[in-house]
Structure 1
Amino acid sequence: MPEPAAWRYDKITKPMFDVPAEHVILVGRVLTMAGDVFEDGFVEMMDGKITAVGERGRLGAGDAAGEAGAAGEADTAGEAGVVVEHTGGTIMPGLINSHAHLNWDGIHDLARQSMDDPRPISAFKAAANMLKSLRAGVTMVRDLGFHDMNLFSKQAVAQGIFPGPRLKVCGAAIIQTGGHTYWVCREASGADEMRRAVREQVRGGADLIKIMACHDTLEFTDEELAAVIDEAHRNGLPVTAHATYDACIERVARFGVDCIEHGGSMSEETVALLLEKEIPIVTTFAPLVQQSQPDIARRFGIPEWKIEERKKAVADPTRYEGLVRAARAGVSIVFGTDAGSPAVEHDVIAPELAHMVKVGVCENALDALASITVRAAKVSRMEHLVGTLEEGKAADVIVVDGRPDEDLFALDRVQTTFVEGRRMHG
């Protein structure tokens, strides 16, 4: 394991935001995402863990949880004074956004924010977006870079300086000098400098390494690409690659990355390679979807020519053929929104999921929910802890007004969010 980041050695006398883990029983419809749906069920949480989940009848008819209660009603039952909440909604695992940028505000130009925002302003934007994420039911964010600012977001949450979701962060994304989005990445040239760039993110406490592998052309020499992937793996970190067309996707998969961001056109041979190496794809349709809707796009200052371009692109089925082919072949498709992009604020969830179903990379609403829970947990190597409602797992739980496995836009009505049993919203 790498040496811990320097802040890990800090002595924290008391967190600034010391939200206690509750002992609570949530009663309602339970969508476990582990195969079970309990139409009249419960989830019990204590000490940050899920201690029981199942049919409400298991609780016994004599206690308050076993009796019918009005939606939103809270009771106290038992000697321990456990709170029982009759939610009237669907109880399900917390949502995971596997591609987001907390320091981008979802409104303004990305390059200008990246070059012009003072670092304190970037920090405030991340704080605001963590709150937006929690209110949208997002209990874990995989932040894929804005310089190295996500390292400080991670520290702030871990040390109780600011309330936020769980964070998996890459530090600064790594790019060849002058490469795609060089203005927000760690530039490097040559194999040795690539290794240095990886080690800098490791030293800062990164959970993964992100590389920008292409734009209009392939980026990195073979020696550079091999070095950045090898150095990450030597330090025990996975590598994810921005890769948007077949030649790039095939190349980074062959060189050994662990995940593909965005995806795009893919040959049968590339799909087979992804399957062989068990490499997932995190799709990010939200910028396209949001910017193609004039009533939304105009509020964010998207120019008319861009709206027309996006409308044509979103309606073009050939744009999705590679991703659909991969999904049908069995490649794991995972939810991400590229949150922070213009018109994609950090509480935009349902439009991405709905589009995943519409274009065919997810079979139905339940499969789309798997992409934002159980499959997303696996991408971040957290499936042992989160992603499903099962006894012994962390109490990352949300309550939704409605049935999101039937209507994905029910996720616009998140009533309550718990992270590790701590009530962060509602």
Structure 2
Amino acid sequence: MISAVGKRLAYPKGTTIINLSQHTLTPGLIDMHTHLLFFQKQTPTGFEDGARPPAEERVKRGLGFAKQDLNAGITTVRDVGNSGRYLNVRLKELLARDAKLGPDLFASGPIISPPGGQFGKLAPADSLLIPQEYTEIKGVDQAKAAVLEHIKHGVDVIKICANTYDKLLSVDEIKAIVETAHARNIPVTAHATYDEPIRNAVLGGVDGIEHGYSVSDSTLALMAARHVYLVPTDVSRRRGKILVAGLGMMGKTAQLALQSLDAFHERLRRAVKKGVMIVSGCDFYNDVNGLKWGPSSVDVLVGYREAGLSVPEVLSFATINAAKALHRSDSIGIVKKGMQANLVVFSGDLETNFEKSLFDVEAVFHKGKLVHQKTKK
């Protein structure tokens, strides 16, 4: 816990003094959209392959990814599915044993979705991957039952798919999920990629929207009025080029994919202008071109900066705003007396040299412990 913040503080004799001149100190970063138990190769069956490894292998790999996130300055994550049957709940319990292992984790359990989940056409042999990764529902009764099952298994948040590749949850189904969860103090966030499912999710009472790639001004206004936050999972241009190349896109297809970043930036600016609370989330899960997990997780902040937002705004998305969305404003997201001592020390000045400093982490403190320190050359 942080015991004091200020100038000329009194401290006991023998206290270790750390000189942080030429550095920037921030609260520990919060990533609200992770998939620590899913790692997708860029092959025709990559999505299926990401779900195939045995549970123990996925958990072990997830521990490694969590440590990479911690070393990058992320001290809290919300893991939102594609994690088997409650493997992210198990990962949460393992991480809670030692602050040095990885961030504090808030788990969703399996994503609640329309029949079929987010898989496209599957080979018959792969059909069992759907109930492994998703809780499929059809109708209000199944919607309520799914939430109760999730809560029984110890989830912290409910994640729904308001839309899949070819199906939508109805507003009534979403309402049933939200009412059941909220009655038990569990928030609900919705994967929703275009305007109709985004609006359905907001009308259904969700707390947050994940992605929201294409959304109208009227729906953004509705989100602001109902205090529904947006998690834009946007990559930087540099990392976007790496992903496009890794996916094997070429020519016009690659050009259109990269141009979509401009549309995402425009939607982010509109959301901010409309008064929607923005919360940071990376949505990284790609095994492509040697991309490392931790740096790829914080890269989303570079994407927000490229949209023209100020450094303080961008940092608020991954600190104060994310803490509010987690209902943890009383313990994380800001540096002040009485808060959990989650802190990141970046080399240099984040405000004047954002990208360079962001990827140059000097030290990370988690729950008051020094859990990572840059190796001196």
Is the CA contact (8 Å cut-off) linking 1:354 and 1:365 kept in structure 2?
no
CA contact (8 A) 1:290 1:297 kept: no
What is the CA-CA distance between 1:342 and the residue it aligns to?
4.3
* Residue 85 (str. 1) matches residue 34 (str. 2): no
- Equivalent residue letter for 1:328: K
Question: Quick one: percent identity of the two aligned structures?
Answer: 29
- Residue 326 of structure 1, CA deviation: 1.6
The answer to whether the Cα contact below 8 Å between 1:156 and 1:162 also exists between their aligned partners in 2 is no
What is the CA–CA distance in structure 2 between the aligned matches of 1:291 and 1:406, rounded to whole Å?
Answer: 21
Instruction: Output the amino acid matched with 1:423.
Output: L
Which one of the candidate residues 84, 87, 91 is aligned to 1:149?
Answer: 87
Matching residue within 54, 64, 69 for 1:118: 54
Residue of structure 1 in register with 2:313 after alignment: 367
Residue among 102, 109, 116 paired with 1:178: 116
Contact 1:180–1:215 (8 Å) recurs in 2: yes
Provide the residue aligned with 1:245 in structure 2: 194
Aligned residues: 352
Residue number in structure 2 paired with 1:385: 331
Query: C-alpha offsets along residues 206-250 of structure 1, whole Å, 9 cap, x if unaligned?
Result: 111000111344512344222222211122101000011111111
Tell me the equivalent position of 1:105.
Answer: 39
User: Aligned pair 1:196/2:145, yes or no?
Assistant: yes
Unaligned runs of 5+ in 1: 1-48, 61-76
SS in 1 for 2:20: strand
Whether 1:326 aligns to 2:271 is yes
Deviation at 1:349, TM superposition (A): 4.3
Distance 1:162 1:51 in 2: 21
Give the partner amino acid of 1:419. Answer: H
TM-score computed with the length of structure 1 as normaliser: 0.76
Classify the secondary structure of the residue corresponding to 2:345: strand
In structure 2, C-alpha distance between the alignment counterparts of 1:78 and 1:224, rounded to whole Å? 58
Q: CA deviation at 1:266?
A: 2.1
Task: From the superposition, tell whether residues 197 and 138 of structure 1 become closer, same or farther in structure 2 (CA, over 3 Å).
Answer: same
Contact 2:363 2:370 in 1 (8 A): yes
Kindly provide the amino acid, as one letter, of the partner of residue 318 in structure 2. Answer: I
After superposition, what is the alpha-carbon deviation per residue over 1:303-345, rounded to whole angstroms, capped at 9, x for unaligned?
Answer: 134x863542333434544332121111111111102234464
- Residue 116 to residue 308, structure 1, CA distance change in 2 (3 Å): farther
Partner of 1:408: 354
Q: Is the aligned partner of 1:418 residue 2:354?
A: no
Give how far 1:293 is off: 1.4
Secondary structure at 1:240 match in 2: strand
Using the TM superposition, give the Cα deviation of residue 291 of structure 1 relative to its aligned residue in structure 2, in angstroms: 5.8
Could you tell me which residue of structure 2 aligns to residue 95 of structure 1? Answer: 29
CA distance in 2, matches of 1:156, 1:285: 29
Answer yes or no: is the 8 Å Cα contact 1:111–1:184 preserved in 2.
no
Contact 1:292 1:310 in 2 (8 A): no
For residues 381-416 of structure 1, give each alpha carbon's deviation from its aligned partner in whole angstroms, at most 9, with x where no partner exists: 111111110011110011111111332221111111
Q: 1:251 to 1:102 in 2, by over 3 A?
A: same
Which residue among 56, 67, 75 is the counterpart of 1:139? 75
TM-aligned CA deviation for residue 117 of structure 1: 0.7
CA–CA separation in structure 1 for the residues paired with 2:221 and 2:196: 14
Per-residue displacement from partner, 1:39-71 (whole Å, max 9, x unpaired)?
xxxxxxxxxx1111223xx147xxxxxxxxxxx
Which sections of structure 2, spanning at least 5 residues, go unmatched? 120-129
- Greater CA deviation, 260-269 or 367-376? 260-269
Q: 1:85 is matched by which residue type in structure 2?
A: I
Could you tell me how far apart the structure 1 residues matched to 2:57 and 2:237 are?
Answer: 28
**In the aligned structure 2, how far is the partner of 1:266 from the partner of 1:425?**
39
Cα shift readout 1:137-166 (whole Å, capped 9, x = no counterpart): 100011001122100011112244982211
Q: Residues 83-139 of structure 1, C-alpha deviation per residue, up to 9 Å, x if partnerless? A: 222234222111111111111236556523343111111011111011101110100
Distance 1:174 1:289, change over 3 A: farther
Shift of 1:186: 1.7
Larger Rg: 1
Q: 1:385 to 1:161 in 2, by over 3 A?
A: closer
Q: For residues 163 and 319 of structure 1, what CA distance do their matches in structure 2 show?
A: 34
Distance 1:184 1:224, change over 3 A: same
Judge conservation of contact 2:42–2:247 (CA < 8 Å) in 1: no
CA distance in structure 2 between the aligned counterparts of 1:379 and 1:199, rounded to whole angstroms: 22
